[in-house]
Structure 1
């Protein structure tokens, strides 16, 4: 049997610890999961977390007991936006997914006493990975900014036209009221 591990950012670990401190005791269904997460946690800075790990605010695709996959955003608490978009870590499934890597499973007993096995199929979006990608693009563009851009001037049709000539020698082309 392999040792269970859970990869958490420093922020996610702090959230899990606060949840454990506010836990209602052993009767709270989150208590055993919180204990397992804290005991098996590998805590990392957000810049070091692998891209395939479910962190807070990650959009993940998962399956419960082999059923059809579902996609949700792991959130800190219940959200007031669209129903079915978020999966709070204050729920058994949300907490179970936090810290898992793609392909990992987590088994727990739900409120009805039935064992559920949750499989993290894919991390579709991870804020830490998106931040690293954005920073890398900015660093790359800053490196490019120091290079002087090379421009090639292309003469257009404006330069090929004949110059405009005034109608009268004094440069005034209004014939006056007699022309009306």
Structure 2
């Protein structure tokens, strides 16, 4: 490895992974736990090397194989929210963006447990963690610019499927086509 490659590698290793704090209810962590299966690496005798597999068959109820670290986080959430000393309390868990995208893949917005809209709430929490800053910035920009009227001699960038041309008026255009 040359110095430039070493510097790039060092920069990658020193790059801090951003974590997002999400507060989850007991039903939410139980739903997530039921929806995940553990991804494992196994030695394969008829092939060279290893192969990724799952602890159990991928089923509609556990459709996404995930790394052990994510299962560990969800497990701690299950233990906390089911502990008799913590009944009715929510758990705070930290996830990085890749873990949130994995959770997004298994979260179905229509899932309800009792009267709690678990899937809908999880979608809001996941997307809120990932995109709330960008959403707020865009919303502020929209609010600040809503009353600004831009004037331009250029045609608007709409209906681009139609040819844009300068025509003094429709009557003149018809007359030139008739000739």
Question: TM class by shorter-chain length?
Answer: under 0.3
Name whichever structure is richer in strand by fraction.
Answer: 1
| TM-score between both structures, scaled by the size of structure 2 | 0.25
